Every structure is written in C-alpha cells, then in structure tokens.
C-alpha cells in the first residue's frame, strides 16, 4: 500500500501539495498533533474524555541546550497543570528530560523536573518521565530515583527493545514505581537493543507479565494488536482486574482500537502532543507506520 501510494503521488500534481502539507500546521497534521497551543490541546482532551479516554499532555520539544529555554518549558508545564485543575479534565503530564536540561546540566534537569513533580503533587496530579535513546537511559533513571525518593506521583518509561530492560524493571518494581512499557522508537546499535521484531515482542510480553503481576498500576503502551491480546489473555488467566492497569496509545493512531478497548471495559490513556515544535514529532509518526503515510496521502488525493 505504501509503495503504490507514493508511486501515485510521484506521477500526479498532488506531490507538491503532499510535501507542502508538512510545512504548516493544518487539518492533516492535526490527526497526530492536537494543536500549537494549550487551549487546542485542552479541547482535544475534552473530546477524548467524552469517549471515556484519559490523557497525558505532551508539550513538544526535546534536545534543548539553552538553560533559559528549559525554564520556559517548566513554566509551560506549570500552566498545563493549572489548566487541568481549572478545567477538570482527566489528564496527567509527560516530560522528556532533554526538554528540561539534561544536555545542559544534570542538576539543572533535576531541579526543573522537581519543580514540575512538586507542583503536580500539590494539585493531585502525576508526571511521567519519558525515555529517550539509550545514551540517556542511565541519567534518566538516576534523576527518576532521586525524585521517587521523595515523591510518589512520578513514573517512568521502559523500552522492550533494550537488552537491559528486564533488569531495570526488577529494580523499578522494588521502588514501587509506576511504569509505562513501550517497545522503543529510537535507532539503537545492536550492542544495546534486540535486532529483530520477534525478539522485541518476546521481551515486551515477558516484561508485561512482570508488571501486571506486581500489583502496581502500570501502563501497557502499544498499538500492536498481538501485544494487546497477549496482555488481555494474561490478565484474564491471572484474574487481574481490567482496572488494575491501563492501555496507552498515541493521539490519532488506532482510534478505532482505542474506542473498542474502552467499550470492552479496559482503561485507555492517550498521549496528546501539542506545541510549535510539531514537525519532528509528526515525521516520526509517519515513519513508524505505513498506514499513517496512507492517511496523509488519502487526504491529499481527496482534496
């Protein structure tokens, strides 16, 4: 499908429009990004909440090397937390540490993240620390452990494509940490990550079972129906309540599956990205699934 779609575009007058669609925020981009400002993201989350889906704000931005810009990110997340409280929407927040100064100073990053976690605790909310590429993993865990020592309203992400993750999960469960399990989306060297999808999936299933049996509330983040079915089957076999964990997905991806899981009684959380730095995120979403490219191309063809 992907090849035929791109071939069609290459032979049509739509190619220029297709490429130009990536240069400005528009209705096509909005499929995967809620908007460029906070108010648009709030509206998107309200719509999700009306379908029984909770959310997590993700203000787009990463690999920031200016201390002043990291302070701006903190202020934005404090605005987000206040907005959640004021509007009553069901959402928490998600942060990347390179967004908060990890590439500037580890202590700066810790203090910035602490400010967000502390504010969230005061407001009865929760902060999820995203995981980035494997060169950042140890630093991310170090900062998480410092935060988790004093605050319970902070969680972490682990990636099943890394060899190290089973050991990391064992340590995180000893801390009572809430974990979001995903496969991982960075281009990792073979020295750090499983080379095949089958191995990644096998590890994902192994880690999912460890998490569900822990008795701690975790997030099982995937759009892969095989992984979802494996989770549902294991939970049923172990008599684990549907309320004991949640599935998580990305905004605009597999909306049909999101709603189906809610209808089946499972908890669903959707990560809702917004902000002016939407382009890199949007392009990653296109690269991940051929169906996402087809969605954009189909809309251009209809135009």
Those residues with Cβ within 8 angstroms of residue 99's Cβ, 6 or more apart along the chain or in another chain: 59, 61, 62, 63, 64, 70, 73
180 counts as catalytic: yes
Annotation marks residue 260 as catalytic: no
Q: Calculate Rg over the CA atoms of the chain.
A: 19
Alpha helices in the chain (DSSP H): 2-10, 14-20, 38-49, 67-87, 106-122, 137-150, 165-174, 197-212, 225-237, 255-263, 279-288, 290-302
Of 130, 148, 201, 269, which residue is the catalytic one? 130
Cα→Cα distances 65→16, 69, 87, 100, 237, Å: 34, 8, 33, 9, 48
Q: Kindly list the distances between the CA atom of residue 16 and the CA atoms of 7, 19, 33, 288, 297, in Å, as whole numbers in the listed order.
A: 14, 5, 22, 22, 12
Interior CA angle at 198 toward 193 and 202, to 5°?
80
- Given 180, 254, 267, 269, which residue is catalytic? 180
Q: Are 257 and 49 in contact (CB under 8 A)?
A: no
Catalytic residues: 130, 180
């Amino acid at each position: 499908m992907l090849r035929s779609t791109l071939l069609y575009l290459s032979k049509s007058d739509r190619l220029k429009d297709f490429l130009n669609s990536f240069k400005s925020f528009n209705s096509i981009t909005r499929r995967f990004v809620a908007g460029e400002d906070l108010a648009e993201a709030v509206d998107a989350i309200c719509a999700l909440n009306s379908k029984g889906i909770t959310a997590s704000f993700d203000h787009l931005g990463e690999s920031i090397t200016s201390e002043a810009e990291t302070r701006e990110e903190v202020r934005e997340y404090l605005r987000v937390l206040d907005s959640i409280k004021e509007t009553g929407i069901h959402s928490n927040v998600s942060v990347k540490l390179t967004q908060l100064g990890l590439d500037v100073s580890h202590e700066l990053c810790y203090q910035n993240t602490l400010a967000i976690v502390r504010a969230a605790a005061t407001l009865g909310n929760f902060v999820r620390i995203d995981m980035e590429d494997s060169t950042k993993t140890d630093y991310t865990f170090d900062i998480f452990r410092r935060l988790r020592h004093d605050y319970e309203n902070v969680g972490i992400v682990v990636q099943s494509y890394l060899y190290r993750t089973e050991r990391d999960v064992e340590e995180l469960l000893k801390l009572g940490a809430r974990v979001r399990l995903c496969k991982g989306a960075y281009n990792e060297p073979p020295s750090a990550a499983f080379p095949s999808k089958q191995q990644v999936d096998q590890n994902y299933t192994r880690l999912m079972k460890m998490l569900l049996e822990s008795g701690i509330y975790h997030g099982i983040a995937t759009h892969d129906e095989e992984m979802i079915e494996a989770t549902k089957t294991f939970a049923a076999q172990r008599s684990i309540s549907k309320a004991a964990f949640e599935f998580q997905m990305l905004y605009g991806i597999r909306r049909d599956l999101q709603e189906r899981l809610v209808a089946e009684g499972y908890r669903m959380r959707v990560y809702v990205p917004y902000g002016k730095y939407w382009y890199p995120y949007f392009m990653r979403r296109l690269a991940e699934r051929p169906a996402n490219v087809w969605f954009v191309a189909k809309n251009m063809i209809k135009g």
